[in-house]
Amino acid sequence: MAPKLILTGFMATGKSAVGRAAAARLGWRLVDSDAELVARAGKPIPAIFAEHGEARFRALEREVIAGLASDPNRCPQCGAPRPAVISTGGGALVDERNYAALKRAGLIICLSARPEVIAARVRRSPHARPKLLEGGKPLEVRIAELMEERRAAYARADFNVDTSDLSVVESAERVLAIFARRGRSAHRCAPSA
């Protein structure tokens, strides 16, 4: 199986941005499970939630993650399994099947941040967050509730990196240091002749 560096964690902890930075440093491709899901569904995540509900979204997410975790593609230059950095959606690890597939695929690192930092990042973000709108509660209250609901799922990750006080580059460096310590080789193909 190709080595995979999997980034998970609550929304607005930096999974996509840190994933891009880590993938660039490793020379690997980045696969964002939410972006793959949107491409497959042909509509944005808020529209999937609004039109089909969370159950349909989670079913699509399971399909996408199963495919990403078992990716059989090989490098065209060296023939080795293609490594990747995978960034998951915030609730992906809650699903037992997603967790099992990702655990078999590689090293799972959970990005975290303090609730007030997440709230500030969400307020600055142009992205709609359907799970934060449920119940009509204040943002900080809803974030705290969701974080508590997902705490056990996130605790199953191999490692945690708190991004609250780190830049994207600093967060990526911490992730890569953990990945290197775990004995995962930063696979790079030899240049073709």
How much is the pLDDT for 1? 43
Q: State phi, psi for 113 to the nearest 5 degrees.
A: -160, 160
Residue 193, domain member (yes or no): no
Query: Is residue 132 a contact partner of residue 22, using CB atoms and an 8 Å limit?
Result: no
Residue 189, domain member (yes or no): no
Token representation of residue 150:
């997902």
**Burial 107-119, CB ≥16 within 10 A → b, else e:** bbbbbbbebebbb
Residue 90, domain member (yes or no): yes
Residue 192, domain member (yes or no): no
How much is the pLDDT for 172? 98
Q: Is 9 helix (H, G, I), strand (E, B) or coil?
A: strand
* Cα distance between residue 19 and residue 84, in whole Å: 10
CATH of the domain at 131: 3.40.50.300
Residue 190, domain member (yes or no): no
| Residuewise pLDDT in 10s, the chain (193 residues) | 458 999 999 999 999 999 999 999 999 999 999 999 999 999 999 899 999 999 999 999 999 999 998 887 777 777 777 889 999 999 999 999 999 999 999 999 999 999 999 999 999 988 878 888 888 899 999 999 999 999 999 999 999 999 999 999 999 999 999 999 985 544 444 443 3
How much is the pLDDT for 192? 37
How much is the pLDDT for 184? 52
**Boundaries of domain holding 142:** 4-181
Number of domains present in the structure of the chain: 1
Q: What is the pTM of this model?
A: 0.88
> Quick one: how far is CA 185 from the chain centroid?
20
Residue 188, domain member (yes or no): no
Residue 167, domain member (yes or no): yes
Token representation of residue 87:
């960034």
Residue 187, domain member (yes or no): no
